[in-house]
Amino acid sequence: MRIDIVSIFPSYFDGLTLSLLGRAQDSGLLQLRTHDLRDWTHDRHRTVDDTPYGGGAGMVMKPEPWAQALDALTANAEQHPTIIFPSPAGEVFTQEKARELASTQHLIFGCGRYEGIDERVFDYASSLGSVRLMSLGDYVLNGGEVASMAMIEAIVRLIPGVVGNPDSLVEESHEDGLLEYPSYTKPSTWRDRPVPEVLLSGNHAAIAAWRREQQWERTRTRRPDLIDGAASDQ
């Protein structure tokens, strides 16, 4: 997979060379490139924003640097890319959407500041790829950088071969619409707190049933909004 990130703060993404994402790049499964939007400006001050038509607070990102960035990043691409603009006004990013995006060949993340990018950029970008405005949830960040990092980590770990043991992808929160079950390790009693006895029983069927019940119980109490969509097996 190829991922291009366009941002006025490209050094935000230095951390993506660490750990699992670093190994994915070393092994050739992921080609990740960050780009400074200001490289596509041509004035002395490398201006990327301007005042909004119609008035109002804050600044709006100018369309021309974005168009030139997207032209450059799609010029020699064999594949029609998916162009993601992180935005609190977008569709909500979910595990299901991470799975869908993990099967694509080329993603471009366009990180705007929260006052926004000139709306015409999204229409222009639609002539170069599949455009998605995506939000992490119902709260506001200062820009798309942190949101892009979260989405990239969620997507890249689902590329086959990136996570060493694929079993660890199966039994985690949101994979089957439920929160994951609680985990414990040694010692069996720690600071007067024992591990649930069933986990020490060696009875695999009883352990599986207990874990499933824990998943449903936590989902009911912490995330009742997920219950209707969860695979009902109990």
Cβ contacts of 30 within 8 Å, gap of 6 or more? 1, 3, 21, 24, 156, 159, 162
Could you tell me the two tokens for 69?
A: 């960035």
25 binds ligand 6GU (CB under 6 A): no
User: Tokens at residue 220, please?
Assistant: 């009911």
3-state secondary structure of 130: strand
Under the binding rule (CB under 6 A), the answer on residue 59 touching ligand 6GU is no
* Positive or negative: CA dihedral 140, 142, 144, 148: negative
Q: Which helix (H) or strand (E) holds 163?
A: none
Under the criterion CB under 6 A, does residue 155 sit at the interface with ligand 6GU? no
Residues 106-125 that bind ligand 6GU (CB under 6 A): 114
Q: Which is nearer to ligand 6GU, 7 or 215 (CB)?
A: 7
Size of the site for ligand 6GU (CB under 6 A): 14
Smallest separation (angstroms) from ligand 6GU to the CB of 45: 24
Integer Cα distance of 131 and 133 in angstroms = 7
Q: Check: CB of residue 87 under 8 Å from CB of residue 109.
A: no
Best CA proximity match to 83, nearest among 63, 99, 101, 60? 101
Task: Tell me whether residue 144 or residue 177 sits nearer to ligand 6GU (CB atom).
Answer: 144
| Shortest distance (Å) from residue 117 CB to ligand 6GU | 11
Q: Sketch the per residue contact string, 60 through 79, with ligand 6GU: x for CB under 6 A, - otherwise.
A: --------------------
Task: With CA atoms as reference, report the closest residue to 107 among 3, 13, 33.
Answer: 3
Q: Which stretch binds ligand 6GU (CB under 6 A): 50-58, 81-89, 180-188, 226-234?
A: 81-89
| 5: phi then psi, degrees, rounded to nearest 5 | -120, 130
Do the Cβ atoms of 33 and 64 come closer than 8 Å? no
Counting contacts by CB under 6 A, is residue 52 touching ligand 6GU? no
Give min distance, CB of 144 to ligand 6GU, in A: 5
Of 146 and 195, nearer to ligand 6GU (C-beta) is: 146
- String marking each residue 125-144 x if it binds ligand 6GU according to CB under 6 A: ---------xxxx-xxx-xx
Identity of the residue, 144 or 230, whose beta carbon is nearer to ligand 6GU in the bound complex: 144
Cβ of residue 78: shortest distance to ligand 6GU, in angstroms?
28
Q: Which two tokens stand for residue 107?
A: 């993603």
Q: Considering the complex, state which of residue 151 and residue 230 has its C-beta at the smaller distance from ligand 6GU.
A: 151
First to last CA, the chain: 38
Cβ pair 230, 178 in contact under 8 A:
yes
Residues of this chain that interact with ligand 6GU (CB under 6 A) are 86-88, 114, 134-137, 139-141, 143-144, 147
